[in-house]
Amino acid sequence: MPTEGYSSTTIKTPVYDMLKKVAKERGVSISDVIEEATIEMGDHAPELESIDSISAEMQHLISTTQKMQERAIRKVDRIISDFKRSKEKYQTLVETNPDLVFSIDPAGNFTYVNPVSYDYLKISPGETIGHNILDFVHKDDAEKLENIIENLKNGNKSTGMLKFLDDEGHDKYFNISISPLMKNGKVLEAVGVADDLTEHQRMMDEIAYLKQFNESIVQNAPLGIVTFDKKGNITYFNEVFPKLLQCSEDDLKGGNVFHDAVDGRLEEWYRRCLDGEYCEYNGACSISENGLKRMYHKWFSPIKIGREVIGGVISEQER
């Protein structure tokens, strides 16, 4: 006779065999076993709902994490893009800078030089990389540069005028400013900028030479020479001038041609001179309060910078 709840046509499966075995052990029908299992599954339904809830939360967390990762990736991409643009901009500024821009390691070896190096040292950037900056400095300033490098190793910025030699052996004067780049208190390298002051230095040397040359001529001239500013203050006189006036050099230092002139007629010539006029006088002049006179030949000339009169010069000799 067929088991209760199942016909003779029931398919025999491993599950059926298991249910049949359980029913036999308990002394109940297979239908009772199935019904009992169904009730137990119903009792565990809240647990299954909890699992579904946790699964939903996990899905939300995974989705949120993915979105955060995507935003982070986009942010990193923007940072990299901005960095590349900044790097390109910096490189353009450095390579088109009219000044010499360079970097050296703590030992003084070049790690970068912009293209202006050829204008400054008659050498290409590629020929300088790896060479020490001391290889290009004039021997007169080698010790000075060594002190600058030592100063950089201690983390200090340095500036100064240094004389270099270009690849053709010509003297070049550079005003250099070098700053260390540090990490965790250690100097990694130094970045420097050099301004070519060779022409400026040449002009300064020429001016110094001309000044010395002119002073030599003035001091050895047979004429008495004195210069004064627009207020009449004496700015220079040679050795002959106080002798012509029969006074000491101390009497003339800090003097004023308007206030100290004994002969009142001289003030007119001084003022005409400061107005830009060239004057000449040949005759007697009082040189002391007691009326002592001498015969002089005087020349009054304005001193100009461009068209502006900044003072005057008097040249005179005793007749």
How many separate domains does the chain show?
2
Q: Does residue 273 form part of some domain?
A: yes
Instruction: Quote the CA–CA distance of 96 and 90 in Å, as a whole number.
Output: 10
Residue where one domain finishes, among candidates 172, 201, 230: 201
Task: Assign residue 271 the CATH number of its domain.
Answer: 3.30.450.20
Size of the chain, expressed as the number of residues it contains: 319
Instruction: Please state, rounded to an integer, the average pLDDT across all residues of the chain.
Output: 80
116-143: buried (b, 16+ CB within 10 Å) or exposed (e) per residue?
A: bbeebbebebeebeeebbeebbeeebee
pLDDT in tens, 39-74: 655 555 555 455 556 566 667 667 777 777 777 777
Residue where one domain finishes, among candidates 201, 235, 263: 201
| Domain range enclosing 141 | 97-201
Residue where one domain finishes, among candidates 166, 201, 236: 201
Q: Does residue 66 form part of some domain?
A: no
pLDDT in tens, 127-160: 999 999 999 999 999 999 999 999 999 999 999 9
Q: Which candidate, 125, 205, 127, 126, places its Cα nearest to that of 171?
A: 205
Domain shared by 182 and 259, yes or no: no
Instruction: Quote the CA–CA distance of 127 and 166 in Å, as a whole number.
Output: 13
Phi and psi dihedrals of 173, rounded to 5?
A: -110, 120
Q: Does residue 251 form part of some domain?
A: yes
Q: Which residues in the chain belong to E strands, given as ranges?
A: 100-104, 110-113, 158-165, 171-183, 186-196, 224-229, 234-237, 279-286, 293-305, 308-318
Q: What is the pTM of this model?
A: 0.52
Mean pLDDT of the 215-227 span: 80
